[in-house]
């Protein structure tokens, strides 16, 4: 801290992410006892609270990759929006019609409202507090050209809801998962097999357009994303 004068507080991550709100335990080390800060990334500004709402700077490339896929005039549904990182990236770096942004954590939704204001994208982003499955069933069926599922712990059980949100003509689902793989195994292929089996069981006409490892998260554990083209 004596060298980096801009650092006001130092915390240690004391646990892995867990729970419905994807939070981690933090241990205070030095400086001010505050967990709120401002983070900047690719021209976007985010007010975050590391203790009360999930945030990871390690996903910056993936956020930009998704934003660059958005076509002009698309309606996008972010099922697990958090403080708005993916949603604001999309609003700032592409030209969507609307980005519906759902999260169950009230603190995350409060910060999402703040970040919408800071980035001046209130005309594009619609924040919604609630469980994505219930919100889609009651309010947002058949409205989206593209659905984001950036919650690997829940994406599989919410896949049918993501399909319900897509327009009858089809669209895209960006599906995230955590996957263990032995040295001789491909984690992307393992996720593709699991998701394909479920989509076939639901009678969905689809194509797995691409898949990639987003990042390693532990010994032989990976975060994987699939870009799924649903044909309608």
Note whether residue 4 is domain-resident. no
Claim to verify: residue 26 and residue 98 sit in the same structural domain: no
- For residue 1, is it within any domain? no
Assess whether 150 and 119 both reside in one domain: yes
Asked if residue 42 and residue 73 are part of one domain, the reply reads no
- Locate 95 and state its tokens: 């030209």
pLDDT in tens, 113-151: 999 999 999 999 999 999 999 999 999 999 999 999 999
What is the C-alpha separation between 3 and 24, in angstroms, rounded? Answer: 28
Tell me, yes or no, whether 185 and 103 share the same domain: yes
Q: In which domain, by residue range, is 144 found?
A: 57-230
Asked if residue 111 and residue 21 are part of one domain, the reply reads: no
- The closest of 161, 173, 175 to 231, measured between CA atoms, is 173
Whole-angstrom distance, CA of residue 79 vs CA of residue 11: 29
- Give the domain CATH number at 162: 3.40.50.150
Q: Does residue 72 share a domain with residue 38? A: no
Compute the average pLDDT of residues 204-208.
96
Specify whether 88 is located in the same domain as 34.
Answer: no
Looking at the chain, the whole-number percentage of residues with pLDDT higher than 70 is: 100
At residue 128, the pLDDT reads 98
First to last CA, the chain: 55
Residue 69 in any domain: the answer is: yes
Is the CB of residue 173 less than 8 Å from the CB of residue 166?
Answer: yes
Total domains present in the chain: 2
Express each pLDDT in 157-182 by its tens digit: 999 999 999 999 999 999 999 999 99
Q: Residue 41 domain-assigned?
A: yes
2 domain residue, yes or no: no
For 45-67, what is each residue's pLDDT tens digit? 999 999 999 999 989 999 999 99
- In this structure, is residue 84 part of a structural domain? yes
Task: Say whether both 170 and 206 belong to one domain.
Answer: yes
Residues 44 and 62 in one domain: no
pTM given for the model: 0.93
Could you list the beta-strand ranges (E) of 1-134.
9-13, 26-31, 36-41, 44-49, 75-78, 98-103, 125-129
pLDDT given for residue 19 in this prediction: 82
Asked if residue 125 and residue 22 are part of one domain, the reply reads no
Same domain membership, residue 204 and residue 125: yes
Residues 17 and 39 in one domain: yes
| Tokens coding 158 | 């919410």
Q: How confident is the model at residue 42 (pLDDT cuts 50, 70, 90)?
A: very high
Tell whether 74 is covered by a domain.
yes
């Amino acid at each position: 801290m004596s060298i980096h004068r801009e650092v006001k507080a130092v915390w240690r991550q004391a646990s892995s992410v867990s729970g419905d709100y994807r939070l981690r335990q933090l241990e205070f080390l030095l400086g001010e006892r505050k967990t709120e800060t401002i983070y900047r990334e690719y021209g976007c500004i985010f007010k975050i609270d590391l203790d009360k709402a999930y945030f990871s700077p390690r996903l910056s490339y993936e956020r930009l990759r998704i934003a660059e896929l958005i076509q002009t005039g698309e309606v996008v549904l972010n099922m697990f929006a958090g403080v708005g990182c993916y949603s604001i990236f999309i609003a700032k770096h592409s030209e969507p019609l609307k980005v519906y942004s759902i999260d169950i954590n009230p603190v995350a939704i409060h910060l999402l409202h703040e970040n919408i204001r800071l980035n001046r994208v209130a005309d594009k982003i619609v924040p919604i507090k609630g469980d994505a499955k219930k919100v889609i069933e009651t309010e947002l069926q058949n409205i989206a050209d593209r659905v984001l599922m950036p919650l690997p712990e829940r994406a599989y059980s919410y896949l049918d809801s993501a399909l319900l949100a897509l327009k009858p003509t089809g669209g895209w689902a960006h599906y995230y998962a955590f996957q263990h793989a032995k040295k001789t195994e491909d984690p992307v292929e393992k996720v593709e097999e699991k998701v394909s089996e479920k989509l076939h069981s639901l009678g969905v006409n689809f194509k797995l357009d691409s898949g990639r490892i987003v990042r390693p998260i532990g010994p032989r554990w990976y975060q994987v994303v699939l870009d799924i083209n649903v044909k309608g």
